Every structure is written in C-alpha cells, then in structure tokens.
Amino acid sequence: SYVLTQPPSVSVAPGKTARITCGGNNIGSKSVHWYQQKPGQAPVLVIYYDSDRPSGIPERFSGSNSGNTATLTISRVEAGDEADYYCQVWDSSSDHPNYVFGTGTKVTVL
C-alpha cells in the first residue's frame, strides 16, 4: 500500500517560514491535499490539488509537489497556525484504490 511520510514535528518562530514535507513514491504524479487540525477540532482543508487554496485560507499557506516530495509552506507564521498538518492523496496504483493520509506533522510556534 502507498505510504506518505511526514516529519513528526516542526518548530518555527513567529514571523518565520515553516515547511512541512510529505514524502511518497513518485508523489509528484498525484494530487496532494493538506489539512490543518487544531486540538479537539475537526480537520480543515488548507490546500488542494497541490497548491490551490480554498476560500478563507490565507495566502500565507502555499503548496508544491514534485518528484517524491510534496511541501506545505506557511509564511509569516502566526501563533494561530500551531496545529497538526496532514497530507493526503488518492492512490489508484494498487488493485484496491485507497485514500491515504500522511503520518501528520505537529507545528509548534516558539
């Protein structure tokens, strides 16, 4: 089955840039989506189709995807960005298509 690997944690100072990676075999050939989840809350979509932002999501959130790594970038980090972030793809490569989530990354704002 397809595996998406994320770093367990990323720490960043306010105002700086956080980069969260999502590694997968030839992930650049897939559409990658990103979710933000704050403690006790449901996930919220922040990036879809690698780099598109839903309405209401700040421009500080951006995404890219190439080769074996997709990246979520949060610019000018704010305290309110502290959350868990998950990448997600649809893997149709096997005989049992699956909706795969990454292992999750906890972003801590110092």
Residue closer to other proteins by CB (options 71, 88) is: 88
CA distance 21 to 10: 10
Compute φ and ψ for 27, nearest 5 degrees: -65, -20
Residue closer to other proteins by CB (options 58, 90) is: 90
Residue closer to other proteins by CB (options 33, 81) is: 33
Of 24, 20, 23, 25, the residue nearest 35 (C-alpha): 20
Interface contacts to other proteins, rule CB under 8 A = 30-31, 33, 35, 37, 41-45, 48-49, 54, 86, 88-90, 96-104
> At closest approach, how far in Å is the CB of 28 from other proteins?
12
**The two three-digit tokens of residue 8, written as one number:** 């367990």
